[in-house]
Amino acid sequence: MTDEALIDAALAEDLGSGDLSSLHFIPAEAKASARVMAREPGVMAAGQLAKRVFERVDPAVHCELRLADGSAFEAGQCLLQVAGSARSLLSAERTALNFLQRLCGVATQARRYVQAVAGHPVTILDTRKTTPGWRRLEKAAVLAGGASNHRMGLYDQVMLKDNHLAAQGDLTALQQALDQFAQTHPEVRVQLECDTLEQVSQFLSLRGVHMLLLDNMSPAQLREAVALNAGRLWLEASGGITLERIAEVAATGVNAISVGALTHSVRALDLGLDFD
């Protein structure tokens, strides 16, 4: 879904047959100016998207972004200024803020995780645990926060998880499937999920594997997996890794840490539209 289609769907959901409050209680000729203000510190994301919401409601509205995506802000700072028809500003307010608050929340969360592993040569990744329809927006907000994107969907990278492996069969059948896949999709990277160190040892013997996902392993197990790997494959740690313990995981020597919490349980930032 394009940004414009998502904006249109969000506006249709909110406006329906018309904004009764503004249409009947605000004079058509009334003009206003307003500012989107931060009530708490955070990281900017989706500024252009919020700007386009106002412009979609009324192309005559003038919008000026005060911060670029990825910029940190403090409480009391202005993120966006708008001016034009008071009716238009009021009709666009909630939809614009819904996008901005949620996506700034994602960027702010990503920045916290990145800062928590400063000094370690590790990449912080998002996951596919995103709001349906918002994946591209949330992954862009992750980038604004300084973290990195994992695969976008099921189509751009292979990840064989525990259920795939259980359905696939034994290692011989898996190797045959890997060889066939390498012939038809040589450009696509393949990752296997490991729940145990035994699986790590087994999968290191396979051809056509580029990455291993080390799922729900303790720091001691992660260190042992890193030693077993000896730099051969790219190693990713995953599974309930919180902000409080991510530095300990980073110190094990894994290449990356994926964190579903960057998108699946983010708190929207406290932002508001203040009329001048």
Q: What is the pLDDT of residues 171-206, one digit of tens each?
A: 999 999 999 999 999 999 999 999 999 999 999 999
Assess whether 94 and 151 both reside in one domain.
no
* 236 touches 209 (CB < 8 A): no
Assess whether 103 and 122 both reside in one domain.
no
Assess whether 122 and 246 both reside in one domain.
yes
Assess whether 258 and 124 both reside in one domain.
yes
List the structure tokens of 247. Answer: 């530095």
Cα–Cα distance between 234 and 267 in angstroms, integer? 31
**pLDDT tens, 90-121?**
999 999 999 999 999 999 999 999 999 999 99
Cα–Cα distances (Å) from 124 to 103, 116, 261, in that order, read: 17, 10, 11
Question: How high does pLDDT run on average in the chain?
Answer: 96
Cα–Cα distance between 20 and 37 in angstroms, integer? 26
**CATH number for 195:** 3.20.20.70
Residue 41 banded pLDDT, cuts 50, 70, 90: very high
Q: For the beta carbon of residue 187, count every other beta carbon within 10 angstroms.
A: 4
Cα–Cα distance between 213 and 155 in angstroms, integer? 18
Q: What pLDDT does 191 receive?
A: 98
**Domain tally, the chain:** 2
- Cα dihedral: 25, 27, 30, 36 (round 10): 20
37: pLDDT strictly greater than 90: yes
Q: What pLDDT does 73 receive?
A: 98
Which domain range does residue 170 map to? Answer: 115-262
Q: What pLDDT does 163 receive?
A: 84
What's the whole-model pTM score? 0.95
Catalytic positions: 94, 129, 161, 193, 215
Q: What pLDDT does 221 receive?
A: 98
Assess whether 53 and 140 both reside in one domain.
no
Mean pLDDT to the nearest integer, 266-275: 97
DSSP code for 267: P
Cα–Cα distances (Å) from 69 to 54, 139, 210, 237, in that order, read: 18, 13, 32, 28
